[in-house]
Amino acid sequence: MRIILNGIGVLAAFLTVVPVQAKVSAEEASQLGGTLTPMGAEPAGNADGSIPAYTGAMFGLPAGLKYDGPGTPYPDPYADDPVLHTITPDNRTQHAQFLSPGLEAMFTAYPDSFRIQVYPTHRDGRYPDYYYKRLKYNAVNAELYNGEDGIRGFTGAVAFPIPRTGAEVVWNTRTTPPNYTMGGIYSDIAVFSNGARSERRSTIVSEYPYANPENKLGDEEAELGIWAAHVLTKVHKPVRDKGKITSIFEPYDYITHAREAWQYVPGSRRVRRAPTVGYDTPDGPGGFVTVDDTLGFNGAMDRFTWTLVGKSELYVPFHNYKFDEAGLSHDQLLTPFHANPDYIRYEKRRVWVVEANLRKESRHIYGKRRFYVDEDSWNIVMTENYDGRGELWKVVLINSIYEYNIQGYVNRAMMFHELRAGGYIISRLVNDGDPLDYTVAPKGPSYYSSTNVRKLGRR
The stretches of 64-128 forming alpha helices (DSSP H) are 101-109
Give the span between the Cα atoms of 39 and 24, in whole angstroms.
15
Of 428, 424, 415, 379, give the one whose Cα is nearest residue 204: 428
Q: For 130-164, how does the pLDDT look when each residue is reduced to its tens digit (9 = 90+)?
A: 999 999 999 999 999 998 998 988 888 999 999 99
DSSP 156: S
Predicted pLDDT of residue 6: 38
CA atoms lying within 13 Å on the CB side of residue 265: 6
Lowest average pLDDT, out of 43-47, 168-172, 280-284, 399-403, goes to 280-284
Length of the chain: 459
- Total domain count for the chain? 1
Q: For 285-321, how does the pLDDT look when each residue is reduced to its tens digit (9 = 90+)?
A: 888 899 899 899 988 999 999 999 999 999 999 999 9
Confidence of residue 384 (pLDDT cuts 50, 70, 90): very high
Contacting residues for 245 by C-beta, under 8 A, at least 6 apart? 232, 233, 234, 235, 263, 264, 453, 456, 457
Give the span between the Cα atoms of 213 and 181, in whole angstroms.
11
Per 3-state DSSP, the chain is made up of helix, strand and coil in percentages (nearest 5) of 20, 30, 50
Give the span between the Cα atoms of 3 and 254, in whole angstroms.
32
Give the span between the Cα atoms of 246 and 434, in whole angstroms.
22
* Whether the predicted pLDDT of 15 surpasses 50: no
Confidence of residue 169 (pLDDT cuts 50, 70, 90): very high
Phi/psi-derived region of residue 64, left when phi > 0, alpha when psi is between -120 and 50, beta in every other case: left
* Whether the predicted pLDDT of 369 surpasses 60: yes
Q: What is the domain-level CATH number for residue 137?
A: 2.50.20.10
* Whether the predicted pLDDT of 13 surpasses 70: no
Give the span between the Cα atoms of 215 and 218, in whole angstroms.
9
The mean pLDDT of the chain is 92
Amino acid at 82: P
Q: For 244-277, how does the pLDDT look when each residue is reduced to its tens digit (9 = 90+)?
A: 999 999 999 888 888 899 999 998 889 998 866 7
Give the span between the Cα atoms of 337 and 88, in whole angstroms.
16
User: Contact, 51 vs 313, CB < 8 A?
Assistant: yes
CA atoms lying within 13 Å on the CB side of residue 105: 19
Predicted pLDDT of residue 18: 41
* Whether the predicted pLDDT of 123 surpasses 90: yes
* Whether the predicted pLDDT of 204 surpasses 50: yes
Give the span between the Cα atoms of 346 and 325, in whole angstroms.
16
Predicted pLDDT of residue 375: 98
Predicted pLDDT of residue 11: 40
Predicted pLDDT of residue 435: 96
Predicted pLDDT of residue 225: 80
The domain of 107 spans 3-458
Confidence of residue 218 (pLDDT cuts 50, 70, 90): confident
Q: Which of residues 108 and 226 earns the better pLDDT score?
A: 108
H/E segment holding residue 453? helix 450-458
H/E segment holding residue 392? strand 392-403
Give the span between the Cα atoms of 300 and 332, in whole angstroms.
37
User: Contact, 266 vs 274, CB < 8 A?
Assistant: no
User: At CA 295, angle to CA 144 and CA 35, rounded to 5?
Assistant: 60
